[in-house]
Structure 1
């Protein structure tokens, strides 16, 4: 069974889709910056055999609205939207899988609404920056990029984004997969992406490092072997989490779910079941 709809959440039209039997345990999937629920299409088929999979376009992405007020994108407000969506669909508790920005959102949910969640999988994610000095510098660079996005075309931004060293390992993807990912990125709204940086960027979000030692829920950290910066961050996170484990996927970079989909799905399902 598949249910999809645009649903009014706290004054914003959100796009969400649920796949699988409603009686199955729920699994919420949260995409990364420039992404959408489309990024999880392949894994929805795999996870949907055992779970009721909920995918949502995060504020400013995909088919969800892109409000003009940057303050609407603050992490506490977006997290409250996700909880309101779960309420609207009568989901009392769910496991959650978040990638990159979606992982930071998932971790914020874990720290502030932990009774609503059973297990966490955080892919290529982080608790944010530990010091205000680091966060201030990142906010400045994110604002510069946000203004650039607004001043240029979405195609110009996607060209710039895809040239970042972070995505070098995506060259191992088949050409058709790279083009599909590019087309998905091009569907985004420049206003939504710019304001997402301002409201949910790593500099804008509060540091979640202090939350980790008290987070007793089972947590799986997944990171690609080639993504050395995030390997280091996730090793530190695993040391702080009382019930966390780290899984490093060989020959993968930041987007392990796309670059090594089978290994990624196996790790997720072993953890959840």
Structure 2
């Protein structure tokens, strides 16, 4: 992750070294040479994805987005891209968020599941019908793809009900806990304290935040929504639809992989979608 940027771009190398110093360990070494197990460590995964996305963006030639958005963790990258957060401040918040979420995961056995080919309203109805435990819609990824989150028994029960209701699949995901659910509440206080100590600037363009799925430019509201995101749903479908309604015609995904490009194409086939990922790092480096 990001090795060709480090090797070929002086600014990228400086940013990676700055990240190593901020985090207190050489995350760049793990990103470039670590095993899959190394990359799955809590203190590594979220900062690594953040760094790959943000450093690739910062090494672009004078990027000027008209609007930004990020899926879950990616919202922090989006806030660097629109100048709300400084690189180093965002990285510190990401590290604190990752560790706080891990503690919350360890407090209660929990999980997530992907539900395919079932209307959002039906998924919401089934989750609401389970009143003796916690299971909620967590990620509205695209039409026909919604992720639910909660305690292990509640998610398993919901999956059976989803299949009975006609879902093509209801698949438990290999994740550490119930992200974007009330079970993440213990992590909120720690993240909130860190956010309240961090400078949030007036953004250079709107950010479409996960929990409200609309354009936000007020730093105080951005803070509030970032805290709420830990326990609130990622409304990606609604966010992309709002961006398109506000004039977006071209979306560029910056970071590892093409997942968001695929989701956006499923949300609206009429927009242009491209990406700046590992395969294009050499071009950025030049």
TM-score by length of 2: 0.35
TM-score by length of 1: 0.36
Higher strand share: 1
Flag the structure with larger Rg: 2
